[in-house]
Amino acid sequence: MEEDKLQFHEMGLDDRLLKALADLGWAQPTLIQEKAIPLSLEGKDLLARARTGSGKTAAYAVPLIQRILTSKQTVREQAVRALVLVPTKELGQQVQTMIRQLTAYCSRDVRVADISGKADLSAQKPILMEKPDIVVGTPSRVQAHVNAQNLVLNSSLEMLVIDEADLLFSFGFEDDIKSLLCHLPKIYQAFLMSATLNEDVQALKELVLHNPVTLKLQGSQLPDGSQLQQYSVKCEEEDKFLLIYTLLKLGLVRGKTLIFVSAVERCYRLKLFLEQFSIPACVLNSELPVHSRCHIISQFNQGFYDYIIATDEHGLEDPATSSQKSQGKGNKKKSGKGGKGKDKEYGVSRGIDFHNVSNVINFDFPTSVDSYIHRVGRTARADKPGTALSFISHTELLLLTEVENALIGDNTDCVLKPYGFKMEEIEAFRYRCRDAMRSVTKQAVKEARLKEIKQELLNSEKLKTYFEDNPRDLQLLRHDKDLHPAVIKPHLKNVPDYLIPAALKSLVNPLNRRKRKQKPKGATVMRSSFKKNFRSKNPLKSFRYVKKKHTEKKAKKS
């Protein structure tokens, strides 16, 4: 079967594109790439469903670049030929990075611009005036540039891509998309890429596609049990903190880990709790500037730190109301405590390419099946193995049942297995956790959020031009540094040997334990030789009193 698989060099791609693919180390296409690229090059509209991590971005980026290179052989006029719509700013930057990697050897012929950032329209206008071949952006930002006449699409556009199509409506972009379609030419090639085919995607299909080819490549939306291990453990609020402390501090969870919680406030509560035990973690917070969030993801991918605490921010509670700026004050009350200052175009569980994630921990269980699938889809990507562990309280049992029924209905064998962990074995750690939790007050959480926002704003705005000239210094900005608004108790840093359960001692620092067993012989010799030397050179034991001459003379005179 492998012999019949279509290879990149058999697709009629430009040599420069093939060379870039080789530099990326892609020996052969993934299933979605093998099926989508030839159909796209034939000019057909595509509706593609493939799970996260299957290579969907390259499946549309490669034909976009190839068609632009082909058209430039006959038409020399510079114009915007392709538009890529994404639901989040982070995904926009990721798509731009991917296209730049693929155009490494033809960057003069194929130029790409990402306009999904927070920069002012006037600041992005010069970029669009140069008419880049590919424009990447969120629907609201693209629509704003069209309204400002910075971007003209009705004459030159040849290709439209809607990535993560099932998220666009839920993020409040329905009106923007419908308005934007009025500014597009009558004829263009379109791609809808998504991990799920829900009602929103069907609605978009009717609006955008013309006689599309539908690619539904995987029966299940998650890898099977041989690649993805999924577990659940029933524990209440205090036990969640106890269990996460034990798993991370004793090294029972190894490798890069994403920890999902239900709200931004919970992110900082968990971060401050882990700081008590000197466990570094960083928060991916929608309140931070987009450059900071992308920098956090970049550093995580490069291995600077192992733990990211994040939220879904799925729709930001009320996407319909948050999509209009004019509704100001009324929305602030509606969005609740966690809604203030959040970025509508932020998303973590979807679209963001975290590299080599070994584990996903659902500290708080997701509120929908889709959210669970997209959280867990951050691990076990491509052919790499992964583990997902969900903490389940009694209030989350119905959600667990809903997810399990959906996975079974999806014809998959990757149901959630009970995590065989005996909570009574780590009972000795409970007093430490309670001690740490007492320090993490509401005031401490509030101060931590304010401190990080101020710190990130300073880094991203005032030092932006400096870091452009000194890119190496940017690596020194670590996002997992201690915030320290809570009182740190030094005794919590180390774990005494007597507290470690007997069943876990063989798993905790096995290398250190081997070294301890090898020491006794050398250690006793050193001690005995030290004692001998000490006795022979001890000034108190070798001291002898000698009478001085002047005392003897005094005795003779008397």
Domain that holds residue 370: 228-318+343-499
The CATH number linked to 36 is 3.40.50.300
Supply the pLDDT for residue 183.
92
Question: Do 182 and 287 belong to one domain?
Answer: no
Question: Is 335 part of a structural domain of the chain?
Answer: no
Asked if the structure places residue 521 within a domain, the reply is no
Q: Are residues 53 and 79 in the same domain?
A: yes
Q: How confident is the model at residue 192 (pLDDT cuts 50, 70, 90)?
A: very high
pLDDT of residue 129: 93
183 shares a domain with 254: no
The answer to the question of residue 326 being in a domain is no
Whether 512 is in a domain gets the answer no
H helix or E strand, kind and range, residue 137: strand 134-137
Residue 293 and residue 435 in one domain:
yes
What is the 3-class SS of 489-504, one letter each residue?
Answer: CHHHCCCCHHHCCCCC
pLDDT above 60: residue 451? yes
Q: How far apart are CA 47 and CA 54, in angstroms?
A: 15
Local confidence band at 422 (pLDDT 50, 70, 90 cut-offs): confident
In terms of domains, do 304 and 160 share one?
no
- Tell me how far the alpha carbon of residue 422 is from its chain's centroid: 30
Give the strands of the sheet with 417-418, arranged side by side: 282-284, 307-311, 257-261, 359-362, 386-392, 228-234, 417-418
Q: What's the pLDDT at 370?
A: 81
The whole-model pTM stands at 0.63
Residue 504 lies inside a defined structural domain of this protein = no
Stronger pLDDT, 44 or 499, i.e. the higher one:
44
Q: What is the pLDDT of residue 460?
A: 63
Cβ distance 151 to 121 under 8 Å? no
CA distances from residue 351 to 7, 55, 196, 469 in whole angstroms, order as listed: 26, 11, 12, 30
> Domain check: are 276 and 172 in the same one?
no
Q: Measured between alpha carbons, how far is 184 from 202 in angstroms, rounded to an integer?
A: 20
Q: Are residues 187 and 285 in the same domain?
A: no
What pLDDT is recorded for position 330? 39
Q: How far apart are CA 112 and CA 107, in angstroms?
A: 9
Residues 352 and 479 in one domain: yes
Please indicate, yes or no, if residue 327 is contained in any of the structural domains.
no
Instruction: Give the chain's largest Cα–Cα span.
Output: 132
Dihedral pair phi/psi, residue 262, rounded to 5°: -85, -20
Pick from 158-167, 205-214, 479-488: least confident: 479-488
CB atoms within 10 A of CB 111: 20
Question: Average pLDDT, whole number, for the chain?
Answer: 80
Span 15-41, average pLDDT: 93
The verdict on 181 and 248 lying in the same domain is no
- Determine the Cα–Cα distance for residues 361 and 379; give it in Å rounded to an integer: 10
Q: How far is CA 385 from the centre of its chain?
A: 17
Q: Are residues 235 and 177 in the same domain?
A: no
> Does any domain span residue 330?
no
Show which of 216, 246, 278 is a domain's final residue: 216
Please give the structure tokens belonging to residue 350. 């979807």
Q: Please say if the pLDDT value at position 188 is more than 80.
A: yes
* CA distances to 231, 376, 378, 409 from 387, in Å: 8, 8, 10, 21
Q: Which of 449, 474, 499 is the last residue of a domain?
A: 499
**Domain shared by 300 and 363, yes or no:** yes
437/356 same-domain check? yes
Mean pLDDT for 24-30 is 90
Among 158, 190, 216, the domain boundary falls at 216
271 or 414, greater pLDDT = 271
List, in sequence order, every beta strand (DSSP E) within 184-224: 189-194, 213-216
Query: Strand, coil or helix: what is 388?
Result: strand
Asked if residue 223 is part of any domain, the answer here is: no
pLDDT computed for residue 537 by the predictor: 58
> Once rounded to an integer, what is the mean pLDDT over residues 123-144?
94
Q: What percent of the chain has pLDDT over 70?
A: 75
More confident residue, 260 or 519: 260
Count of structural domains, the chain: 2
pLDDT band at 374 (very low <50, low <70, confident <90, very high): confident
Q: Residue 309 in contact with residue 267, Cβ under 8 Å?
A: yes
Q: Which amino acid is at 146?
A: V
